[in-house]
Structure formats: C-alpha cells, structure tokens
Amino acid sequence: MKAVVFDDEKTIRNVLKKVLEKEGLEVLTFETGKEAVSIVKEEKPDIVFLDIFMEECNGIDILKEIVSQDSYPFIVMISGHDEYKYIIEAMKHGAYDYIVKPFDINQIRKAVNDIKKSIDASPIVEKPTIDIIGKSPAMRNIFKLIGRASSSLEPVLITGESGTGKEVIARLIHAYSDRKNKPFIAVNCAAIPSGLVESELFGYEKGAFTGATHTKKGKFLVADKGTIFLDEISEMPLEAQGKLLRVIQEMEVTPVGSNNTYKVDVKIITATNKDLVKLTAEGKFREDLFYRLSVIEINVPPLRERKEDIPDLIELFTKQALEKHGLKRGGFTKEAVQYMKSYNYPGNVRELKNIIFKLVAIYRERPITPDLLPNFIVGDKIISSAPSWKEGLKKEIFRLIANNKKSIYVKLLSDFEEILLKETLKHTRGNISEAAKILGIHRNTIHRKIDELNIQIKEKNESFI
C-alpha cells in the first residue's frame, strides 16, 4: 500500500511518515499541495493525507479535484481547525476521515486500519448558517455522519433522547445536501390524529372521505425534490407504516381515495426518542420498515455524556438571548459555567437553552454568578445546611419549570397527597380510622383518596404498596 502526505509542517510530515511506515505503507511526503492532483494521478496512492490549510493552496479544493477523478484514493484530511464547518465540508466532499491536529498516533493507525478494511466515498455542495455547537468527539462523529448522510439518497434515522438536537441535525443534513434549495418538510407524527396520518402524508382526493371537500396534496408531494422529516416516527400507526414502506420502495404515492399514483423524489429523514428495536420486538413497529429507515443511523448522545460541549453551548445561547433582548453585555461568570457543567440536564440541550434564556431575561446585563443559578443546578454545593424537604421540593419545582412541564400544580399536589397517605397508612398498617385521626380528615375522605390515587392495600390491616 502506498500513502502520500501533503502538509506544510515538517514535524507532521515526519511523524506521519514514521507511523505509516510502521504500518507497512510506502510513504511519500510533500510540503505543498500545489502539485497534489498530478502527483496523485501519477503515484496512484491508496491513501492521501491532506492538510486543509497550506500556504497558497486550499485542501478542500484539492480534495474536490482528486475526488472528481474516475478512481481516487482514500483521503484523510488533517487540520488544526476543529470547527464543525470544516469537518462537514470535508466529509461532504468525500474525505474518508478528518483528523484534528495535534493528533494521537492511534487515530492515524485506526484510520489506516479502517481503510485497509475498505469503504467508498462521495460528491458535492455548500454551506448554510445554522448555529450548531459541538466539539466533543461524539459531536465530531455526528458531523462526519451528517456529511455522509447529506450526499446519500438513503434514508436517515436519528435517535436520541428528547432535546438532544435531532431536528437541528435533520435540518443540517438537508442544508448540506444538493436539495438545499428545495423544501424541507417537517412532520410530527405524534401530532397527527392516527386516522389522518395517511391523508396528511400522501394527500387525498376530493370526496375520499366525509369532509374531503377538495383534493389535497400530501406532505410527500409538497416535499418533492427535497427532504421530508418524519419526527417521532414511533408514533406512526401500523397501517400507515405499511404504506410508508411501499412509498419508500416504489418512490411513488397514491393519495387516499385516488386511482392515480405520483412519482416522488424525496429524501427521508426520521427521528425518534424511543427504542425502535424494542418496539419492533413488541410488534408495535414494523421490522421491515425499521431496517429500511435505518440505513444510515445517527445516534445523538445525551448532553450529560458530552459535557465538554456545555461551555460553547452556553456561549451560543447567551449570545442569542442577549440579542433577543437587545442587550450589549451580560452572561455567565466562569464559576457559574463550572456549576452549569456539573448538572445532568435530563432535558438535554433544550433544557440548557431554556435555563439560559430564562436567566438572561431575569438578570439582563448583570453578570450571572453561581448564587443566581437555580437551586437544582447549584444544589447542595451552595446550600450549606442539609437541604430540608422544602428545599427538595423547591428544586423539583424549578426542574419542572425549566423542563417546560405543564399543569405542575395538579401533578405536585397529587404526588404530595399520595406520599402523605401511603406513609400514614403504612404507619397504621392499613387501619383507616387511625390514619383519619393522624391526618385529621374524615375516613370517607381517605377511602375516596385511596380510590382516586389508586393506592393498593394488599390486605386490610396488613401491608400495602
């Protein structure tokens, strides 16, 4: 196997040469990329290591030129920049991998070994402006997959907990594809009443059902030549799943009540925060559809598993929030950012964003110090004495509010009542009269509450859960 290295840094050339030779490759190195295209044509290497930024030449342009040849080697971009734009751009244009300097020799070895096992690459397009953050290894991998997914026609399935950024990723795939000037149609499958899914997606003919007073184009036809994003795909009824599978296989839709079929050219991206494999095993999701949709799968890890992204996200959202309120300064102190990093964000990036927007709205230009952060973030670290149950309750209230939960009054009161009743009844071993005395309420009320809250008493005067 032969490798060619283009990099204007001598040490990088030397290190690569050494490592690659150890891997059994024949290695040629060049300090400029000016002649790269003709060198590659002549030398026919298996792998090219290409620096993105070299004096007088641009690695991406060279990459594009090499990739436009009929047959071309695997190209590994090396760069001192870990900005997502460059990573997406490089992967998009067919780079095999993107390695950030200073690199770990093992990364190079891994790339070479993966290449030895072989795969192939792909073509073109440009950059949009979507604010997306992620320097963690996990997000870098995701950018690589976005680059790949945007140049492929295969369906993409994005999985991950709520608020991790699945929709931003779907939009990014579209924005980097050659469909970027065509529609991106987002459909939330959970928001459509189950009986209407098919007519919504595939359209209907006038008179197809009561209320169909005119012919309506389905989302697939509206998205023609562009991308359709089917969010919360797990909520799609089984019957509609069967129809969707046919649409993907045939690339044509038949509106409800129509004899006509229409050809469509739509890239399909789906997303879910559910475990589709489990739903498939339970018979709630079609297995054949699952395999068809998950040709390219992007799993977005929860924010707590990529905390190194938090400071950059804080910076972005603070900037957005300050702009929204027309403020010139403000934001979090270093200590506050440290606290923000220690919290686990069950609501992921969305929760972090909501917290920041709320704090900036309240404190405006005032620097946000740890004492201004909500209790559930600073927690016990700031409250010196052991937190009382009231403090715990306060934390829970803040947490629910920050997660945009609704109707929390009813929820909290019923949780409270349930605990109060269960614990008292546990103490009285199920004796209701005694519990009524302790609680100071009528025994009929207790009976009613037991029914309402569905509290189970296994055996009277015995134990219960």
Find the shortest distance in angstroms from Cβ 405 to ligand ATP.
13
Cα of first residue to Cα of last residue in the chain, in angstroms, is: 68
Contact 145, 151 (CB under 8 A): no
Binding segment toward Mg ion, per CB under 5 A, in 71-79, 159-167, 312-320, 374-382 = 159-167
**Binding residue for ligand ATP (CB under 6 A) from 168, 208, 383, 439?**
168
Closest CA to 2 of 40, 53, 33, 30: 40
Q: Before 387, cis peptide (omega within 30)? A: no
Residue type, 156: V
- The answer to the question of residue 162 lying near ligand ATP (CB under 6 A) is yes
Find the shortest distance in angstroms from Cβ 349 to Mg ion.
11
**Binding residue for ligand ATP (CB under 6 A) from 216, 306, 353, 395?**
353
Q: At what angle do helices 348-363 and 310-324 cross, to 10 degrees?
A: 40
Closest CA to 125 of 149, 154, 89: 89
Binding segment toward ligand ATP, per CB under 6 A, in 33-41, 97-105, 115-123, 125-133 = 125-133
Q: Using CB distances below 5 to 8 A depending on partner kind, what does residue 350 bind out of ligand ATP, Mg ion, none?
A: ligand ATP
Element (H, E) at 142: helix 137-150
Cα-based distances in Å from 285 to 87, 105, 196, 277, 281: 35, 43, 18, 8, 8
- The answer to the question of residue 73 lying near ligand ATP (CB under 6 A) is no
- The answer to the question of residue 167 lying near ligand ATP (CB under 6 A) is yes
* Residue least distant from ligand ATP (Cβ): 165
Find the shortest distance in angstroms from Cβ 381 to Mg ion.
32
Find the shortest distance in angstroms from Cβ 279 to Mg ion.
18
DSSP, collapsed to helix, strand or coil, labels residue 191 as helix
**Binding residue for ligand ATP (CB under 6 A) from 59, 163, 203, 226?**
163
Tokens of 359: 């704090």
Find the shortest distance in angstroms from Cβ 361 to Mg ion.
23
CA distance 77 to 144: 12
Find the shortest distance in angstroms from Cβ 68 to ligand ATP.
32
- The answer to the question of residue 156 lying near ligand ATP (CB under 6 A) is no
Q: Using CB distances below 5 to 8 A depending on partner kind, what does residue 27 bind out of ligand ATP, Mg ion, none?
A: none
Burial of 262 (0-12, 13-18, 19+ CB in 10 A): middle
Number of residues lying near ligand ATP (CB under 6 A) = 18
Cβ proximity to ligand ATP: between 74 and 184 the closer is: 184
Instruction: Please name the residue ranges forming H helices in 251-403.
Output: 276-281, 287-293, 310-324, 334-342, 348-363, 375-378, 389-402
Site string for ligand ATP, 285-314 (x = CB under 6 A): ----------------------------x-
CA distance 165 to 281: 27
**Binding residue for Mg ion (CB under 5 A) from 167, 297, 417, 434?**
167
Binding segment toward Mg ion, per CB under 5 A, in 127-135, 146-154, 167-175, 275-283 = 167-175
Instruction: Please name the residue ranges forming H helices in 325-407.
Output: 334-342, 348-363, 375-378, 389-402
Cβ proximity to ligand ATP: between 179 and 353 the closer is: 353
Per CB under 6 A, contacts with ligand ATP among 267-286 are 273
Find the shortest distance in angstroms from Cβ 170 to ligand ATP.
8
Binding segment toward Mg ion, per CB under 5 A, in 163-171, 280-288, 302-310, 434-442 = 163-171
Binding segment toward ligand ATP, per CB under 6 A, in 129-137, 178-186, 196-204, 433-441 = 129-137
CA distance 440 to 434: 10
Cβ proximity to ligand ATP: between 17 and 358 the closer is: 358
Closest CA to 236 of 189, 287, 270, 284: 189
Cβ proximity to Mg ion: between 144 and 350 the closer is: 350
CB atoms within 10 A of CB 129: 7
Contact 271, 296 (CB under 8 A): no
Tokens of 423: 């614990």
Positions touching Mg ion (CB under 5 A) are 167
Positions touching ligand ATP (CB under 6 A) are 131-134, 160, 162-168, 273, 313, 316, 349-350, 353
